[in-house]
Amino acid sequence: MTSQHTRPAAPDATAPHEPVIPHNGPLVTEDDVAAVSEALRSGWLASGPRTAALEEAFAERFHPRHATAVSSGTAGLTLALRGAGIGDTGATVAVPTYGCSALLDAVLAAGCTPLVVDITERTLNLDPGRLDGAGRVDAVIAVHTHGNAADLDALRARTALLVEDCCQSLGGHDERGRPLGGIGDAAVFSFYATKTIAAGEGGVLLQSDPAAFERVRVYQDPAARERYAPRFNYRLADPAAALALSQFRRLDRITAHRRALAAGYTAALPPHVAPPPGAADGRVPYRYCLRAADRAQQRRWIGHLRAAGIRADPLIPARHLLHRQLGLEPGGFPVAERVVDSTVSVPLFAALTERQADRVTAALAGLPA
């Protein structure tokens, strides 16, 4: 999960008749439209047969995991903690500071206590070494930032519960060839409008423990209460599930397109610009995120790309880092503080056309020093 907030920027100066290339954009095909239309015509609008089919498709791809469709990635993370039995216990849950505030929302909604942790320079994922000496860590939410695999083995050794946040990594693998989402005790995927599978909202929670899966099912079902306890409706409606399932069926084509775009961008980079760090075999790039030397160069690169009609983005401003959201001292998070003044994210999404990709590669080839 990544913040959609951006810093204010000057208006784009674009070439005549060349519309601005957005930073994100969903690809909705005629098959997607037909799937949603069929769902609407069926008269079943609440969670129903298409939601169940989506769960079955995820469970089959990530066998032997149990799949539950949810209303958002945030809901999935909340339910992952509650399903594991640590809800409302104040349990300590480690999260990376470089990420969406929904991480904090999920931990707090589950009745747990967030432990915000700095990241690694290479992958922008939670740094396992920062957990040493941090005291008891009951759970870790390992975000695969920009599609880069978190160090799950190192994190596993430091916690009892490992939750994979795969909202930016659907279809990817780690360096050992293991599918992201099939390694931790639980995994969460998001179908938000900018994600690899874009259904507007929604997501899927995968769990390895059948008992945890049953606890989530009961929590989601308001009719299952024999005595009152507060619960929330985290279910996914059938039309949204139909859209997500239609896109999930062409996931391999979507991920191949993303990889091809990233490869083309890398080939176009001038010698003084390094490709995004953290990339590895099996990675599905959610963001193509270059790293400038400093804030001045970051601004030059973003200005160069926007002058070419390309909506480049620094992604997360310093004020949205999670440690700052909680009022913690920036000095304890040096890597994240440095990263926000160096990242330059280039448009990379399923709906990007060949013409648009050519414009981006041409602009990348001319990035100034």
CATH number of 98's domain: 3.40.640.10
Q: How many domains does the chain have?
A: 2
pLDDT at 15 over 50: no
Mean pLDDT in the chain?
93
- Does residue 344 lie within any of the structural domains? yes
Q: Are residues 258 and 189 in the same domain?
A: no
Place of tokens 């104040």: 90
Q: Are residues 180 and 268 in the same domain?
A: no
- Does residue 19 lie within any of the structural domains? no
Query: Per-residue confidence at 7, pLDDT binned at 50, 70, 90?
Result: very low
Instruction: From residue 45, give the alpha-carbon distance in Å to each of 49, 69, 112, 202, 236.
Output: 10, 15, 33, 14, 10
Q: Are residues 56 and 139 in the same domain?
A: yes
- Give the chain's end-to-end CA distance (angstroms, integer): 31
Comparing 13-27, 49-63, 82-96, 169-183, the range with the smallest average pLDDT is 13-27
Q: Are residues 126 and 152 in the same domain?
A: yes
Beta strands 203-207 and 66-70 are: antiparallel
CB-based burial label for 186 (10 Å; 0-12, 13-18, 19+)? buried
Q: Are residues 181 and 310 in the same domain?
A: no
Q: Are residues 261 and 360 in the same domain?
A: yes
Q: Are residues 132 and 206 in the same domain?
A: yes
Nearest C-alpha neighbor of 256 from the set 284, 237, 235: 284
Q: Are residues 223 and 255 in the same domain?
A: no
CB-based burial label for 296 (10 Å; 0-12, 13-18, 19+)? exposed
* Predicted pLDDT at 5: 37
- Does residue 105 lie within any of the structural domains? yes
Cis peptide leading into residue 277 (ω within 30°): no
- Does residue 359 lie within any of the structural domains? yes
pLDDT at 330 over 60: yes
Q: Could you report the per-residue pLDDT of 264-321, keeping only the tens digit for each?
A: 999 999 999 999 987 777 789 999 999 999 999 999 999 999 999 999 999 999 999 9
Q: Are residues 231 and 309 in the same domain?
A: no
* Predicted pLDDT at 84: 98
Q: What is the 3-state secondary structure (H, E, C) of the chain?
A: CCCCCCCCCCCCCCCCCCCCECCCCCCCCHHHHHHHHHHHHHCCCCCCHHHHHHHHHHHHHCCCCEEEEECCHHHHHHHHHHHCCCCCCCCEEEEECCCCCHHHHHHHHCCCEEEEECECCCCCCECHHHHCCCCCCCEEEEECHHHCCCCHHHHHCCCCEEEEECCCCCCCECCCCCECCCCCCEEEEECECCCCCCCECCEEEEECCHHHHHHHHHHHCHHHCCCCCCCCCCCCCHHHHHHHHHHHCCHHHHHHHHHHHHHHHHHHCCCCCCCCCCCCCCCCCCCEEEECCCHHHHHHHHHHHHHCCECCECCCCHHHCHHHHCCCCHHHCHHHHHHCCCEEEECCCCCCCHHHHHHHHHHHHCCCC
- Domain containing 300 equals 251-365
Last residue of a domain, one of 223, 248, 273: 248
Rounded Cα gap, residues 249 and 35, in angstroms: 12
Q: Are residues 51 and 199 in the same domain?
A: yes
- Does residue 13 lie within any of the structural domains? no
Judge contact between 163 and 81, C-beta under 8 A: yes
Query: Per-residue confidence at 366, pLDDT binned at 50, 70, 90?
Result: very high
Last residue of a domain, one of 208, 229, 248: 248
Query: Per-residue confidence at 12, pLDDT binned at 50, 70, 90?
Result: very low
Last residue of a domain, one of 215, 248, 281: 248
More confidently predicted of 53 and 7: 53
- Does residue 113 lie within any of the structural domains? yes
Q: Which residues pair with 187 in a beta bridge?
A: 164, 206
CATH number of the domain where residue 330 is located:
3.90.1150.10
- Does residue 23 lie within any of the structural domains? no
Q: Are residues 41 and 155 in the same domain?
A: yes
* Predicted pLDDT at 228: 81
* Predicted pLDDT at 304: 98
Query: Per-residue confidence at 2, pLDDT binned at 50, 70, 90?
Result: very low
Buried b (16+ CB within 10 A) or exposed e, 263-289: ebbbebbeeebeebebbeebbbbbbbb
Q: Could you report the per-residue pLDDT of 116-159, keeping only the tens digit for each?
A: 999 999 999 999 999 998 889 999 999 999 999 999 999 999 99
More confidently predicted of 189 and 283: 189
Q: Are residues 278 and 178 in the same domain?
A: no
- Does residue 10 lie within any of the structural domains? no
